Amino acid sequence: MTYMNNSGTAVAALIRKFEIPLSELCVVYDDIHLDIGVLRIRQKGSDGGQKGMKSIIHHLGTTAFPRLRIGIGEPIGNLTDYVLTGFTEDEEIETAHIIDRAVDAIKTFVKNDILTAMNQFNRR
């Protein structure tokens, strides 16, 4: 029930309540620094300028947790307008495909481990 920019509050509360090891957490978020259609799975990392990740890192007190970044491409013009504007028809097709791949990546992470998911999905 938080805004995306304050998502660390909710994530930290869930981690504490259900005693989830951070190695079993996987934060999924959009990334303007990746082209549309690109996935990147990492074991840890910085917030990359993404305010929701900054909040999560702040509330967890660490950058050491898995994350799945889904590329949405670099903004043209204002960032807020860009992320709130719908996709073009071509982008819709690419986005549908990448969402399917993201689901498969998460299933692989849950069933196997982060390294297996990274090896299978960190390519276009």
Euclidean distance between CA atoms 38 and 44, whole angstroms? 18
Euclidean distance between CA atoms 48 and 91, whole angstroms? 23
> Mean pLDDT of all residues in the chain?
92
Higher pLDDT, 123 or 105: 105
Structure tokens at 57: 């890192």
- Model pTM above 0.85: yes
- Return the CATH number at 21: 3.40.50.1470
Sign of the C-alpha dihedral computed for residues 52, 95, 110 and 118 taken in this order: negative
Q: Given this model, what pLDDT does residue 124 score? A: 59
What's the whole-number mean pLDDT along residues 60-86? 90
Count the domains in the chain. Answer: 1
Amino acid at 108: T
Of 18, 8, 14, 19, nearest in space to 62 by CA:
8
State the distance between the two ends of the chain, measured CA to CA, in whole angstroms: 33
Q: Given this model, what pLDDT does residue 62 score? A: 98
Enclosing domain of residue 39: 4-121
